[in-house]
Structure 1
Amino acid sequence: MSNAPRTRWGPVRSLLCLAPLFVLAPYYAYRQHYALPEPITELINPSTSLPQISEAQILAHAKYLSEDIGYRTVGTAEHALGDAWMVAQAEKVRAQCDDAVRAVPGRKLECEVWHQRGSGHHRFDMMGRRLYKTYVDLTNIVVRLSDGTDAGKEHAVLVNSHLDSTLPSPGAADDALPVGVMLECIRVLVGTPTWEPKHAIVFLFNNAEESLQDASQLFSTQHPIAHTYACYISLCPPCALLLTVSCDAAAGTTGPELLFQATSEQMIKAYSKVPRPYGSVIANEIFTSGIILSDTDFRQFELYLNVTGLDMAIVGNSYLYHMRKDLVENIEPGVAQHMAENTLALLHHLTSSESPLPELASAGYSKPQTVFFQYFGMFLVYSFTTAKIMYATSFILALIATRVTYVDPSPALKKGTSFVGEQARGFLVVTGSFVGAAVGANVVAFLMDTVLGRSLSWFSSIFACIFLYGPAALTGALASQLLFGRIREKTAFTSIAVLQTFIAVLTQMFNIGSGGALFLSSAPLVPAMLLNSMLTNPGDDISLWAYALGQISPLVTGTMLSCAVLDVFVPLTGRIGEEAPAEYMIANIVAVNGAYIVPLVIPFVHRFSHRILVRAVILLSMVTGISMAFFAMRSPFDDMHQKRLFVIHMENITSQEQHLHVAAADAAPRFHDLAVSIAKEFSIPGVTSETQVMDDWNSDWDTMYPFSAFLTPYKFDLPLRAEHQDIPLKHDLTISAVNSTVDAAAGTRTFTLIVTHPGIIWTAIAFDAHVIKWGLDDNPPDEHARHHIKEASFYGVDQWSVDLVTKLAPGDETGEVKVNYVGIHEKAMWPGKRAEKEQGGRAMKLFEEMDTWLEKETKGSVDAMFLGCVGGVDVV
């Protein structure tokens, strides 16, 4: 190799040379992340004459449930219609199964159907609060496919989705789409003459997930075949409780189906068999850690049956719809096809002779000890043991390559610097850049949130936050280098390789599989170092070819991870309430992802002079300022990314008053301004809006407890308008105590509390007492405490009760209890009950007027949920 001096390219020419890589690699990763199969419309494959998954059929089911039937909130007439429709579908399956067996004599296939109905109760702790649920006459529809033998039914796989929708949503993606997926899988399996399940499949269409998993609890504790399944697949999207006050819009409408939670080694390996696997150990560890407060029927299956499973859902761009926007028209073509094909492949594997079901049933399941990632179109799966070996080897190779390629400092730099000393300084510089990136992004977050009051300006676009916080993070990373002075380009380059491989080893030693992300990004750095030694002379700049090789993996892997992370966290952080640091969370996500995607920016800036570094910091600071100015003028919400507003028209039974309660759950600015405008338009003239304290004693929002903790509520006095005076108040909610006896000697009172609620759903009561014993569980708090009990019942059920034994306070001879109670008029939910608005009383007249006003006033950027409630206080 020639020892002739090399001509140094300037930063602009060097960047232009690398530009194709920085454009094409992220574009490739973006396309890979959001790639979807072509949707199929035909029910029968014309080449094989066998049934095939048809997205058109899935969407037809989803459309019927979400639009023809509509808003299927538990306890409504629509909920009952959904139940009846599903029963009819199950009976069709049984008939199709009988026809299929007659068509192929001797085929080992049996289809069984149950329409379960039952009552019960369970404790549902959440967000640090105790909550008790009771339910009456709720239903499940269960379909079991098996070979007809007892042995074949012994170890089954459960597949679950739910028929109900949340308050107030038509529920196309959450969860009518998965219902359609399950029905389509049944049709294909039953219609395939050669398919005979070695192990049974139990399809559970549960009917009350959104009311806090009541129906899955009913199935898990009361159904006769609940104990027969060894694993489950939940197709219900993760009801991210930070995303939504009532688990609405927790599913996505674009992008691939994502494996976001797997609880065992065996199920991860089973998932790897599907045709289009998509997921990462990072998502799995985030969801299982509880960092994201989310929940599905997963909880009930694990709690009562201790079985393993998978949570699969479409979560891409999940915030493209809220409440009313959960419609089939907003589901991207290919989404249903992708989920259904993966689900069908899983069922084929789990019912085959290679199934892990017998092992799971006999030996139980082992906690995940597997790393899995999407990498250049491949689904990598390897054990923690293999990971430790690979990462340690990579770390050792990075150390060796660093030492082998090391040369003494040039005369221009400090003489006498040892190898160890220089590398230690390199680690300090690289670490400093990471800290600087976080500081830069957080400074901008502080300015946007606290100083300018323009938080959430990025909310209406998944990638907008990158343009706000990306320049800030890069500015901070480069500015940090001014603190350390010049360091050799090669030293910074090798330090990144050693540091990343070391952190990968360290995290894996603690069995944290997410460390694999650093292994994947650092994997090409050692080959890049070796390539550089072949292409350059000692003391030369690092070859741009080495930069290109070293950046390919971080660019591709980092972009795919960023898409997945932003798909989830942008809507989450936009929905977590005023008290949560939404702006800072997004800022740090952008900073961390940026450092991961372009780690070699630090050695690259040390390629040039100190003056160029200063100019780069100044230029990026200007870009950051321009970006802030642009986003400061930008509205967070538009007609497809709306601000959620929660409105309650409360008729107080005790005081005979009516109030309007308005609240928001978004950490967005200017809600107070909107509340003032609403008060001016709809409240009594001269009365200002009154901010309410949201705590366990604010019973006006108890129908949403404990999610109500995320609300910022206002309370308005309402005028009794002339056009409303002829509409009588409907006080069909009463609280009473029967069979009451006081044991003065024991200091206790025993009674049954009865809640009667004809025409009222989702009733909730709250009271303060020292409960010694009750019919809810065996472990009431051994103290005088606040208790919350919420109800969900089938349409037409109008009473529930709870048995209580309370401790008398000193000097109390009666043991009377003050009970706050509230419920929702079944006919007074807008827009779900728009077709029956005349039966909704005063509330619906107000809601129709207010909805029209909001649409005009906010230009469609607010999506309001309107609930007509009754409530009061009684002493029993």
Structure 2
Amino acid sequence: MSSSLRPPRWGPIRSLLCLAPLLLGVPYLAYKINYALPKPLTDLEDPLTGLPQLAEARILAHAKHLSEDIGYRTVGTLEHAVADAWMVEQAEALRAQCERAVLVRPGRQLECEVWHQQGSGSHRFDMMGHRLYKTYGDLTNIVVRISDGTPEGKEHAVLVNAHLDSTLPSPGAADDALAVGVMLECMRVLVNSPIWEPKHAIIFLFNNAEESLQDASHLFSTQHPIRDTVRAVINLEAAGSTGQELLFQATSEQMIRAYSHAPRPYGTIVANEVFSSGVMLSDTDFRQFEQYLNVTGLDLAVVGNSYLYHMRKDLVENIQPGVAQHMGENVLGILRYLSSAESPLPALTEGYTRPTTVFFQYLGVFVIYSFYTAKILYTALLLTTLLVVNSTHINFAPALRRGTSIVSEQLNGALAVAAAVVGAFAGSNIIALAMVKVLGKGMSWFSSERACVLLYGPAALTGAIVSQLLVGRVRERSAFSSVLVLQSLLACVGQHLGVGSAGVFALSAFPILLAVILNEKLVWPDQDMSLWSYALALLTPLSLGAQMFYTTLDVFVPLTGRIGEDAPAEHIIASIVAGAGAYTLPLFVPFVQRFGRRTIARGALLFSVLTAVAMAVFAMRTPFDPMHQKRIFVIHMENVTTAEQHLHVAAADSAPGFDALAHSIAREFSVPDAVPMPMSMNAWNNDWDTMYPFSAFLTPYKFELPLKPEYMDAPEHDFTIVALNNSMDRVAGTRSLTLAVNHPGIIWTAITFNAHVLKWTLDNNPPDEYACHHIKEASFYGHDTWTVDLVVKIPEDDPDARIMVNFVGIHEKAMWPAKKAEKEQGGRAMKLFEEFDAWIQQEAGGNVDALLIGCVSGVTTV
């Protein structure tokens, strides 16, 4: 056949223009689907049916009352107690609705029970390699059980949980008042739906102490009388305020399938496996339920725009419209299923197994299949791939059999693809190093989740394309089929190793396989790949890759603002861009090899220039702005042992400029010519024990405060540590005592001491050695004393076995802006904070969010 009849081969620019609608359109479609939210509803009843419907307006009204009318609900404060009383009122109102619903429809099997649990306890809470013990006093839970009223109907229950309290610097509208409102709305809709009768019970737990390290969920899991009826848990959280609520932890196949009954499921096994791996330093109440109730469940959270997580601007006005509707409708759908006759709850009495289930939300469709099915599919995919690659191989130089054999061509193609991936990581990380070490402009992308793509995308492409100059010429067809072989191999091997996330490679390999097969019908026998083959093959990688890209950046970019100065934030983000880009554009290598070495060299130059331009632009950016703020942590410390006052200032990110800010604070608020003293954040830095173990992420400075006249009047308190019931057993070589901590007006107390503890009332497993022990307390408002019984080994060099105790706590009236309305009762710390807050807002242009707490500390020997 005459070569003149063949269509002309297009160059790189024309080819890219041809593919542009796909390259731009598919990620845009994925973006629209990824961030799609339902229309917020305001009516409590459906106008057409008259039946109750879940209304976002009602959810947000509850959230607003908690976060703004009541305010900062830190455990131990008066506001915390007010929120508890309000929640009891809501539970009792629900019970009254329930009783009316039964009267209106006689014979309806429906019963609502309310408990106001209050109790004390202790538990071990290890985190980030640190051993920590928690003790709590008189903390509360509000528990509502909805059932059909029969013993059989109460035998198996699903627990749905949210927490009423908020953390130290935040009013907690999204975290977690939003989820509280969702639960209240679900209860209202279920109770007032005339034909709904639960086959299995639903337990709504409004726990009142999560931010103090999951004390109230521990209280329920270890002491509540109905805890043994719980078969599964749905935990509702928020680390952000926009986008769809994400399933980031599912611990059984039964609950994954239950989640599929949500009207808008959003989650993948990738997020599930990343969270369970420990890469994400995050935790929820789910830990307590899993550990003490031995139940399976779902962990759901809003994660978009997590810049506001644990910040002052976690307000209802910053919750995106549709977020509450999405979370509420999903939770309601799951609860309807789990309370029905089809529920898997009774089967969970025999225990459950970790999920061996692959699940994906792909372009709005929720897909589930077992690991067993995955192994069969991926093995078949690999075998089919090898067969197709072999059957479509063309040897253009039969005389050079060795050089053009299918094995050698596939190896060359695989080498080129691997080199491109390595090059992408190398290119992006070299630029990351330059941004931090050379330009001093780390985290310049922080204020936008996807801005980092503009900086590290060109760098990754530069590294990838330069790598092709090093590996030499590779046939386009060989590189294309090598991508298919590698994707299929990764899917098959990964799944056989038990990694369910390997399914992402299978999902991208399937259309590439189809493209290779159809390509034989689209090109001349001695040609390589048609552009139509690229278009077909890129559909899944572009869509699924973009979807994972969006979610990953939503989580990790804001997270870099709170993982500490020593964390390699720049390299983490650069590597995410390179890795996600390599998955999203898997056919980059065959495409560039399509045009030859000269075009590759020009491409390398072009992307190098784009990288340089991107570096210049980002070097002029500041990481923070008023809606994407830098977190700083400020403690006014009054040492009752030495009568000294110090100001402690810390940051939790690696962005440049904090040292300069600390010096500015010292000039403004410290004694003349003061220089901030960098402090080592280790187990013996007790000044930050109220925030331990999160304090491990902080970079702290310390400087002396001038004793201004207005700072002289300290709040009244009586913070003391004494030893009671003291006795020595010289024969056994032990000392027994009760360590009593008295702290009226002080909350979140923490003590640290060194001793060889043989026995104590915290648990049955103290370290069998002389060690440093951390104990933190959180109690209900007005609960001012806690104790721990100890039996310690008498050291040879101290026959009295004296114990030096470092103690610290937060003055309940000295937290800004939480206690702004009653600042006069906060003494000198609040006077300082009012001045400091106004100054830092002006100094930083609103780009800083400061946690301001007044603490009392000291050292005593007992």
What range describes the TM-score normalised by the shorter chain of this pair? over 0.9
User: Offset of 1:170 from its aligned partner?
Assistant: 0.3
Give the Cα–Cα distance (whole angstroms) in 1 for the partners of residues 408 and 108 of structure 2: 74
Partner of 2:788: 802
Identity %: 65
Mapped pair 1:816 → 2:802: yes
User: Offset of 1:388 from its aligned partner?
Assistant: 1.0
Aligned 1:407-446 pairs, distance under 5 A? 407-409=394-396, 416-446=403-433
Aligned 1:717-756 pairs, distance under 5 A? 717-725=704-712, 727-728=713-714, 730-756=716-742
Q: Are the equivalent residues in 2 in contact too, given 1:266–1:366 (CA < 8 A)?
A: no
User: Offset of 1:569 from its aligned partner?
Assistant: 1.1
Give the Cα–Cα distance (whole angstroms) in 2 for the partners of residues 434 and 853 of structure 1: 48
User: Offset of 1:2 from its aligned partner?
Assistant: 7.0
User: Offset of 1:415 from its aligned partner?
Assistant: 8.1
Partner of 2:60: 59
Give the Cα–Cα distance (whole angstroms) in 1 for the partners of residues 6 and 391 of structure 2: 22
Mapped pair 1:162 → 2:163: yes
Q: 1:295 aligns to what SS in structure 2? A: coil
- Give the aligned residue type for 1:741: S
User: Offset of 1:609 from its aligned partner?
Assistant: 2.2
Which shifted more, 33-42 or 313-322?
313-322
C-alpha offsets along residues 682-701 of structure 1, whole Å, 9 cap, x if unaligned?
Answer: 00001211011111111100
TM-score, normalisation: structure 1: 0.97
C-alpha offsets along residues 643-698 of structure 1, whole Å, 9 cap, x if unaligned?
Answer: 00000000100000100000011121111010010001100001211011111111
**Alpha carbons of 1:412 and 1:65: their partners in 2 closer, same or farther (altered >3 Å)?**
farther
Partner of 2:750: 764
Mapped pair 1:603 → 2:603: no
Partner of 2:565: 578
**Alpha carbons of 1:121 and 1:320: their partners in 2 closer, same or farther (altered >3 Å)?**
closer
Partner of 1:563: 550
Q: 2:41 aligns to what SS in structure 1? A: coil
Give the Cα–Cα distance (whole angstroms) in 1 for the partners of residues 104 and 260 of structure 2: 34
- Give the aligned residue type for 1:471: P
Mapped pair 1:782 → 2:782: no
Aligned 1:653-732 pairs, distance under 5 A? 653-725=640-712, 727-728=713-714, 730-732=716-718
From 347, 358, 372, give the equivalent of 1:371.
Answer: 358
Aligned 1:94-493 pairs, distance under 5 A? 94-237=95-238, 251-320=239-308, 322-361=310-349, 363-409=350-396, 416-493=403-480
Partner of 2:51: 50
Mapped pair 1:554 → 2:541: yes
C-alpha offsets along residues 631-653 of structure 1, whole Å, 9 cap, x if unaligned?
Answer: 11111110011000000000100
C-alpha offsets along residues 103-132 of structure 1, whole Å, 9 cap, x if unaligned?
Answer: 000000000000000011111111111111
Q: Are the equivalent residues in 2 in contact too, given 1:409–1:415 (CA < 8 A)?
A: no
Partner of 1:69: 70
- Give the aligned residue type for 1:266: Q
- Give the aligned residue type for 2:300: M
Give the Cα–Cα distance (whole angstroms) in 2 for the partners of residues 303 and 547 of structure 1: 49
**Alpha carbons of 1:761 and 1:471: their partners in 2 closer, same or farther (altered >3 Å)?**
same
- Give the aligned residue type for 1:739: N
- Give the aligned residue type for 2:470: L
C-alpha offsets along residues 521-549 of structure 1, whole Å, 9 cap, x if unaligned?
Answer: 11111111122210111222411111111
User: Offset of 1:841 from its aligned partner?
Assistant: 0.2
Q: Are the equivalent residues in 1 in contact too, given 2:172–2:310 (CA < 8 A)?
A: no
Give the Cα–Cα distance (whole angstroms) in 2 for the partners of residues 742 and 595 of structure 1: 67
- Give the aligned residue type for 1:91: E
Give the Cα–Cα distance (whole angstroms) in 2 for the partners of residues 412 and 440 of structure 1: 39
**Alpha carbons of 1:485 and 1:810: their partners in 2 closer, same or farther (altered >3 Å)?**
same
C-alpha offsets along residues 318-363 of structure 1, whole Å, 9 cap, x if unaligned?
Answer: 12455101100000000000000010010110011100001011x2
Q: Are the equivalent residues in 2 in contact too, given 1:410–1:539 (CA < 8 A)?
A: no
Partner of 1:243: none
C-alpha offsets along residues 495-531 of structure 1, whole Å, 9 cap, x if unaligned?
Answer: 1011101100000001111001111111111111122
Give the Cα–Cα distance (whole angstroms) in 2 for the partners of residues 150 and 809 of structure 1: 57
Q: 1:646 aligns to what SS in structure 2? A: strand
Q: Are the equivalent residues in 1 in contact too, given 2:717–2:746 (CA < 8 A)?
A: no
- Give the aligned residue type for 1:112: E
User: Offset of 1:401 from its aligned partner?
Assistant: 1.9
C-alpha offsets along residues 287-330 of structure 1, whole Å, 9 cap, x if unaligned?
Answer: 11211121111111111110000001111221245510110000
- Give the aligned residue type for 1:693: S
Mapped pair 1:80 → 2:81: yes
**Alpha carbons of 1:413 and 1:27: their partners in 2 closer, same or farther (altered >3 Å)?**
farther
Q: Are the equivalent residues in 2 in contact too, given 1:488–1:606 (CA < 8 A)?
A: yes
Q: 1:574 aligns to what SS in structure 2? A: helix
Query: Which consecutive unaligned segments of at least 5 residues does structure 1 have?
Result: 238-250
Query: Which consecutive unaligned segments of at least 5 residues does structure 2 have?
Result: none
Q: Are the equivalent residues in 2 in contact too, given 1:768–1:786 (CA < 8 A)?
A: yes
**Alpha carbons of 1:470 and 1:395: their partners in 2 closer, same or farther (altered >3 Å)?**
same
Q: Are the equivalent residues in 1 in contact too, given 2:484–2:509 (CA < 8 A)?
A: yes
C-alpha offsets along residues 751-786 of structure 1, whole Å, 9 cap, x if unaligned?
Answer: 111111110000000001111111111111111110
- Give the aligned residue type for 2:141: N
Give the Cα–Cα distance (whole angstroms) in 2 for the partners of residues 754 and 321 of structure 1: 35
Give the Cα–Cα distance (whole angstroms) in 2 for the partners of residues 478 and 34 of structure 1: 32
Q: Are the equivalent residues in 2 in contact too, given 1:111–1:145 (CA < 8 A)?
A: yes
**Alpha carbons of 1:19 and 1:414: their partners in 2 closer, same or farther (altered >3 Å)?**
farther
Q: Are the equivalent residues in 2 in contact too, given 1:462–1:566 (CA < 8 A)?
A: yes
User: Offset of 1:723 from its aligned partner?
Assistant: 2.6
TM-score, normalisation: structure 2: 0.99
User: Offset of 1:364 from its aligned partner?
Assistant: 1.5
- Give the aligned residue type for 1:334: G
Q: 1:584 aligns to what SS in structure 2? A: helix
C-alpha offsets along residues 27-55 of structure 1, whole Å, 9 cap, x if unaligned?
Answer: 00000100000000000111111100000
Give the Cα–Cα distance (whole angstroms) in 2 for the partners of residues 518 and 503 of structure 1: 7
**Alpha carbons of 1:598 and 1:728: their partners in 2 closer, same or farther (altered >3 Å)?**
closer
Give the Cα–Cα distance (whole angstroms) in 2 for the partners of residues 75 and 809 of structure 1: 37
User: Offset of 1:377 from its aligned partner?
Assistant: 2.2
Give the Cα–Cα distance (whole angstroms) in 2 for the partners of residues 537 and 432 of structure 1: 30
- Give the aligned residue type for 2:329: E
- Give the aligned residue type for 1:205: F
Mapped pair 1:858 → 2:844: yes
From 490, 498, 501, give the equivalent of 1:503.
Answer: 490
User: Offset of 1:574 from its aligned partner?
Assistant: 3.0
Mapped pair 1:635 → 2:622: yes
Q: Are the equivalent residues in 2 in contact too, given 1:72–1:165 (CA < 8 A)?
A: yes
Give the Cα–Cα distance (whole angstroms) in 2 for the partners of residues 815 and 523 of structure 1: 70
